[in-house]
Amino acid sequence: MLRKIVLLAISLVVAGVLASCSALEGDGRHLTPLSGATKSRLAAMGSSPQAAMMIRIFKEESALEVWKQTAGGSYKLFQTYEICTWSGELGPKFYEGDRQAPEGFYTITPGLMNPNSNYYLAFNLGFPNRYDRTHGRTGSHLMVHGACSSAGCYAMEDEQIAEIYALARESFTGGNRSFEVQIFPFRMTPDNMAKHQSSEHIDFWNNIKQGYDYFEVASTPPAWDVCDGRYVFRQPSAVNATASMAGSCQAVVADPTIVSAFQARQSADAAAIQSAIVQLADAEAAAAEAEQRRLNAEAEMAARGEAINNAVDGFFGTLFSPLDALAPSQPETAPQGTPQG
């Protein structure tokens, strides 16, 4: 009888543990399949759920892009999602507790996926990466997650993170060992770069723009490393790329076609940035001149109004001054003690 009671108690404990695990895993939301519509859209663009993927995030635009690899090897934009909220301001994360969402290049492996997140679903960005550690930056639990609440993270609506999570899950199922997340302060256009030239982060942004430009010209995400404290980028299949980066810290190591296109884009953007800087300076000067003219006009009107008021006061003062002579005079009062006549 005692043995039965003990076995029953053990069974209840095991059942409780299993129930706790089930509760921890929630309702299996991390296993929610992609919709038929999503699969059809992937097929229409020449991709599949199991194909490789990449994510780009733009803070200023509050946009998260999912790119999928096509049968031809290049990547195409699958979907742009609006980021519900992100923490901090433009610029990289520096230290634990600064409530700043990071910027840079992050490699997401299956171990960084979090199906049990308190924020619906999530994946960890893996901050700090090698670049961050090189610069002594600290922080932990930097995520892309649901629940639309952020403290150093990128928060999505639950329905959005569910689809993004499923896309990543299926990509891993297809044999891909990781996917890349590229995080930028804004779309790295010449106009935006010119607008932010005075930022303390401009050198860092010029550096990560090289990775942005690589993807723009190659239509495939670069592999990245760190050399002399800077991001360096290479074609994943480039031969002796590591040795080349270690030797000279080239901006891009890739086949001649990609390097040529990259250099052409960099040169064109540099010229466009300088032109945009001049245009911004001219616009600011014109705005300052217009503001000064407005202030001068207001001052002139105020002075004119004051002069008119003074003239009116002077006119009426002169007009009524003769009446003072007609006012009855007051009898003189004899000094006290003086005899009266």
Q: Which residue has the higher pLDDT, 252 or 13?
A: 252
Residue type present at position 131: Y
What's the whole-number mean pLDDT along residues 215-224?
97
pLDDT at 304: 84
Average pLDDT, integer, range 206-234: 97
The span from the CA of 103 to the CA of 91, in Å, is 7
Decide if pLDDT at 281 tops 50: yes
Average pLDDT over residues 121-127: 98
Stronger pLDDT, 306 or 201, i.e. the higher one = 201
Note the pLDDT of residue 11. Answer: 41
pLDDT at 186 over 90: yes
* Position 129 pLDDT exceeds 90: yes
Cβ atoms < 10 Å from Cβ of 227:
16
Q: Say what the pLDDT of residue 297 is.
A: 78
Pairs from 194-197 (Cβ < 8 Å, separation ≥ 24): 194/273, 194/274, 194/276, 194/277, 194/279, 194/280, 195/276, 195/280, 196/90, 197/273, 197/277
Name the catalytic one among 21, 30, 135, 145: 145
Q: pLDDT-derived band of residue 142, with 50, 70 and 90 as boundaries?
A: very high
Backbone angles phi, psi at 106, to 5 degrees: -135, 140
Quick check: is 148 catalytic? Answer: no
Reported as a pLDDT band with limits 50, 70 and 90, residue 295 is: confident
Burial of 184 (0-12, 13-18, 19+ CB in 10 A): buried
Report whether 65 contacts 80 (CB < 8 A): yes
Query: d(Cα 31, Cα 77) in Å, to the nearest integer?
Result: 24
pTM (2 d.p.): 0.77
DSSP state for residue 129 in the 8-state scheme:
-
**Across the chain, what does the average pLDDT equal?**
86
Of 235, 173, 204, residue with least CA distance to 90:
204
Residue 149: band (very low, low, confident or very high) from pLDDT cuts 50, 70, 90: confident
Phi, psi (degrees; rounded to nearest 5) at 239: -80, 135
Predicted pLDDT of residue 243: 46
The model's confidence at residue 282, banded by pLDDT at 50, 70 and 90, is confident
Instruction: Give the per-residue pLDDT at 17.
Output: 31
Alpha-carbon distance 5 to 86, whole Å? 54
Judged by average pLDDT, the poorest of 60-74, 212-226, 300-314 is 300-314
| Inter-residue contact 202 to 277 (CB < 8 Å) | no
Which of 21, 148, 153, 201 is catalytic? The answer is 153
The enclosing H or E element of 308 equals: helix 256-320
Q: Report pLDDT for 5.
A: 44
